[in-house]
Chains A and B, each alone.
Chain A
Amino acid sequence: MTLSSHPLVRLERLSVAFDGVTVLHGIDLEIRRGETLGLVGESGSGKSVTWLAALGLLPKKAQVAGRVLLDGEDLLGAAETRLDDVRGGRIAMIFQDPASALNPVLTIRRQLGEALALHRGLSGREIGAEAKRLLDLVGIPDAERRLSAYPHEFSGGQNQRIMIAMALAGSPDLLVADEPTTALDATIQAQILDLLAVVRRETGMAMVLISHDLGVVSETCDRVAVMYAGRIVEEGPSAQVFDDPAHPYARGLIGALPPLDGSRRRLVSIPGTVPDPRDPPPGCAFAPRCLHATRDCTAATPQLEEVAAGRRMACILAVHRRALAHREIEFA
């Protein structure tokens, strides 16, 4: 096995429960070096929890099980000191609301410098120089002077740029961007996404983009995983999943997206709401909202099955249909 085929991060049966209520049901997911994976789904589907759990950032009362392998090393059982090296140093994370994600009473220099001191061992003047370079890199004008400013003296977009600079401070191999543009104005969103693309190109780091904005994911990501009620229900190369979604939920999500070619058609919405994790429906969690559900769907929870190279889905109907289609092609 060569190094490039060996995944950077591999989640195995990762599950999370709060007070006995399971919110994440055994996630299996791989991130390869340098790739961009989109993680999509409604709020509460477990997108953020997956990565907060992987990095040990959930509150202590959360029960986390499974394995989180970083270059083969399991992070779930790792010591706090080891995790502190990984967090920010190997895997960095940025969050939805940059204004509240930065400490209001500390200068940008302090907050950036902290990461530089921890992960790069810099001190004194080196920190100032490197912090300035990072601010320049993420496009904060007048970086030298702005280092001594506080978060409230920046706009939301600038604060997210500072968050990105802070994430880059430790030269991580993976950046987990948790809804990085959701709290920002539409024009600023595009700038931040462009910045992330530039930064990725320059550093070669991998990225997980957590978003409920399918448009953003389809433009940015190599692969996409669709989550529903704490499970991955479909996963595959972006182009394939967006062109030909298989899971009824993914079809619904993508059907709810206005087509980019401008042709006008009725947008379809998915009836019903996400199930309450305290009272999950039997079998497939999507069955109660699914137009195609049969009795078999409520009998057992469908497992994520690989139907083609890199293409996985958790729906008995979709898997069945794929198999049929495959046979028809063979017969033809």
Chain B
Amino acid sequence: MIRYLLGRAARALLTVALVVTFAFVVLRMSADPALVILGPEASPEMIVAFRKAWGLDESIFVQYLDWFRAILRGDLGISMRDGRPAIELVAERIPATLALTIPALMIKIGIGIPAGIWASLHRGTMVDRAVMGLAVAGFTVPSFVLGLTLVLIFSVWLGWLPSGGQDNWVHAVLPIVTMGVGGAAILARFTRSAMLEVLGQPFIRTASAKGVPWGRVIRGHALPNAAIPTVTMVGFMVGTLMAGAVVVESVFSWPGVGRLLVVAVSHRDLAVVQCILLVVAATMVTSNLVVDFLYGFLDPRLRSGARTGGH
């Protein structure tokens, strides 16, 4: 098991390295920060001086090595726009983003999973069709459309909730609901199909045949099996805690990591973009690692498979 997890961890690190390397290359090839940041009126001397100051006059390979060495020292670079360490800029935005994404994740799990289970147990009934109809609507509508619709209804027409800003928790309601609804819809469909798959398995009939009451068949036999695919989906959602709010933060002008990313990309503020991508990739692979660990916990077949594989 430990060897299995170490292997996973090594792969996770490699994934992060690949993501940030790719971003490094693409960002440098796509536009020149000197031109973007200094603007069209900058003199050629200013541009040359800027490039020299930020090391942009070196070859991309040298830049990459320098940057990589800096990362190993824990130095994630300085923002070209306001001269502060990139990590500081990103870190101060993280709480605002988590203030949206964590409650949204709780909505996704709290509504999506029970709705999926409920629909699977009432398969083919009106209840099932209603839940699934809502679920399809929930994930086919893009989040900016849903966000703007909610703004129209609750801010413009009803005037109950603010349409943007970050003064108090009331401002967070619409962005959280916008994100939560779509994710809950996906999770509901996912949980439902996982449950239906499990409920059709012979061991469910065995449990009934030995006299286990139906409620306990669901809780004791079906759910532990359906949890395996569902955990994958939840893990993916946890992985997007940092990155998942780009669109919604923009729609509701919420000052989180997502908005910072949009601004940093458009200004080619390289250190900030790279820092955000590093944080996002790290959250993603960490949650994948946790999911792998949970798999071993939930599915004994994987556990012993890993054990025999380790010999």
Contacts and interface: CB of A to CB of B under 8 A. Distances in A.
A70 to B, nearest CB: 13
Contacts of A97: 202
Contacts, number: 86
A317 interface: no
Interface string B187-230: 00000000000000111011111111110000011001100100
Contacts of B88: none
A101 B210 contact: no
Given A85-B211, A88-B209, A119-B211, 11 more contacts: A80-B214, A84-B211, A84-B212, A87-B209, A88-B210, A100-B203, A101-B206, A104-B203, A104-B300, A118-B211, A169-B210
Interface residues of A, number: 37
A9 interface: no
A6 B93 CA distance: 80
B301 A152 contact: yes
Contacts of A106: 220-221, 224
A225 interface: no
Contacts of A170: 210-211
Interface residues of B, number: 24
A76 to B, nearest CB: 16
Given A80-B214, A105-B299, A150-B301, A100 B202 contact: yes
A105 B298 contact: yes
A87 B206 CA distance: 10
B211 A89 contact: yes
Contacts of A104: 203, 225, 299-301
Contacts of A118: 210-212
Interface string B270-311: 000000000000000000000000000011110010000000
Contact of B304 (A84, A152, A167): A152
B177 to A, nearest CB: 35
B224 A105 contact: yes
A61 B123 CA distance: 11
A38 B225 CA distance: 35
Contacts of A152: 300-301, 304
Contact of B211 (A52, A88, A107, A153): A88
Choose among A105, A107, A170 the residue with the greatest number of B CB atoms under 10 Å from its CB: A105
A166 B205 CA distance: 14
Pairs A-B, 6 closest by C-beta atoms: A88-B211, A88-B210, A87-B211, A150-B300, A93-B209, A103-B203
A166 B214 CA distance: 18
Nearest to A176: B209
Interface string B146-185: 0000000000000000000000000000000000000000
A81 interface: yes
Contact of B220 (A57, A102, A107, A114): A114
Interface string A113-154: 011001100000000000000000000000000000010110
B298 A81 contact: no
Contacts of A61: 124
B304 A150 contact: yes
Contacts of A52: 205
B232 to A, nearest CB: 15
A195 B206 CA distance: 20
A177 to B, nearest CB: 12
A55 interface: yes
Given A95-B205, A153-B304, A105 B211 contact: no
Contacts of A314: none
A100 B201 CA distance: 7
Interface string A226-259: 0000000000000000000000000000000000
B295 to A, nearest CB: 11
B165 to A, nearest CB: 47
A92 interface: yes
Interface string A146-168: 00001011000000000100110
A293 to B, nearest CB: 38
Contacts of B206: 95, 101-103, 163, 166
Contacts of A153: 304
A57 B209 contact: yes
Contact of A95 (B202, B213, B220): B202
Contacts of A119: 211
A121 B52 CA distance: 82
A86 interface: yes
Contacts of A83: 211
A97 B201 CA distance: 11
Contacts of A93: 209
A154 to B, nearest CB: 12
Nearest to A102: B203
Given A105-B225, A150-B304, A114 B212 contact: yes
A194 B264 CA distance: 75
11 contacts: A52-B205, A61-B124, A80-B214, A87-B208, A87-B211, A102-B206, A104-B300, A104-B301, A106-B220, A114-B210, A114-B220
Contact of A103 (B209, B213, B221, B304): B221
Contacts of A105: 224-225, 228, 298-300
A57 B208 contact: yes
Contacts of B212: 84, 88, 114, 118
B1 to A, nearest CB: 15
Contacts of B214: 80
B137 to A, nearest CB: 27
Contacts of B304: 150, 152-153
A276 B220 CA distance: 38
Contacts of A95: 202, 205-206, 209
